[in-house]
Structure 1
Amino acid sequence: MTETVIDYTLYVQADPDRVWQALTEPAFTRRYWGLSFETDWAVGSPMTWVERGARTSDPDQVVLDCVPDRRLSYTWHNFTPEWAASAGVAEELRAELAREPRTRVTYEIEPVGDALARLTVRHEGFLAGGRLVGMCAQAWPLLASSLKTLLETGAPLPEPGPVPRPDQPEPRL
């Protein structure tokens, strides 16, 4: 990870097609991520995020690259008041996030032998020192681990329990 890029690689006991399904099909994404995407996954197509009853979309929220079973890239969502209300995010934090540049996520899927896939998540374009990069750096390991667990066991990771809201300081360990 750098100040503007998060790179995260994991190995999943699944073939690339199954990893692709987990990234793109609502039946999967709802289970490990709690959201779904409304899009046809064609390059340039708009993406609407549906999360906790909130629909987040805008003209710049689009699919950037799509090669089934190999690569997927899209712009990260816009921080709308509706999203913030559904996520329990204070307006001050939402406004701060909305002022940061739009980021993009790219997934690279590579077969490793007959039984594994290497999934690399790259989230880039963050404002150096911004709030979003820190929030995403905490979220991606749990999200990717839940995806992996779902594909390997049939169930995602359990909810982690009370998690500090992103606008609250982290508890000291």
Structure 2
Amino acid sequence: MSDSAITYTLYIQADPARVWQALTEPAYTRRYWGLTFETDWAVGSQMEWVERGARTRDPEQVVLDCVPDRRLSYTWHTFTPEWAASAGVAEELRAELAGQPRTKVTYEIEPVGDTLTRLTILHEGFEPGSTLIGMCGRAWPMLASSLKTLLETGAPLPEPPAGPAPEPMG
């Protein structure tokens, strides 16, 4: 992790097509991330994030790059009052997050042999030292581990116990 980007690489015992499905299909994202994306995955298409009953949409929340089984990139979501209410995030924190620059997530999917995939997650564009990079830096390892566990065992990691401060990821 740098002061303005998070990079996380993991190896998953699954082929690139299954990793792609886990990143894009609601049946998977709901299980390990607790949300779904409503989009057609075409470059320039808007993405609607659906999480805990809240729908987060914004004209700048879009797909930036999409090469099935290889690369996916999109802008990070918008911190709406509806999202904050559903996630249990206080208005003061939501307003702080909303005032930060929009970030971008990129997934690089690379085959390593026949049944192993290297997944590199790059989340960039943070304001250096911001609250958002701290929150995402704590959440990405758990999210990526849950994705890996789901693909390798058929079940995601259990939800961690509630802590003193929410760590929104979607």
TM-score by length of 1: 0.95
Equivalent residue number for residue 108 of structure 1: 108
Alignment of 1:67 with 2:71, yes or no, is: no
1:32-75 CA-partner distances (Å, limit 9, x unpaired): 00000000000000000000000000000000000000000000
Alignment of 1:98 with 2:98, yes or no, is: yes
Alignment of 1:21 with 2:30, yes or no, is: no
Q: Mark the runs of 5 or more structure 2 residues left unpaired by the alignment.
A: none
Equivalent residue number for residue 160 of structure 1: 160
1:4-42 CA-partner distances (Å, limit 9, x unpaired): 000000000000000000000000000000000000000
Amino acid at match of 1:31: R
Equivalent residue number for residue 5 of structure 1: 5
TM-score by length of 2: 0.97
CA offset at residue 129 of structure 1?
Answer: 1.3
Q: Count residues with an aligned counterpart.
A: 167
Equivalent residue number for residue 145 of structure 1: 145
2-structure distance, mates of 1:92, 1:41: 33
Q: Mark the runs of 5 or more structure 1 residues left unpaired by the alignment.
A: 168-173
Q: Which runs of 4+ in 1 moved over 2 A?
A: none
2-structure distance, mates of 1:157, 1:30: 13
- Alignment RMSD: 0.8
CA offset at residue 163 of structure 1?
Answer: 2.4
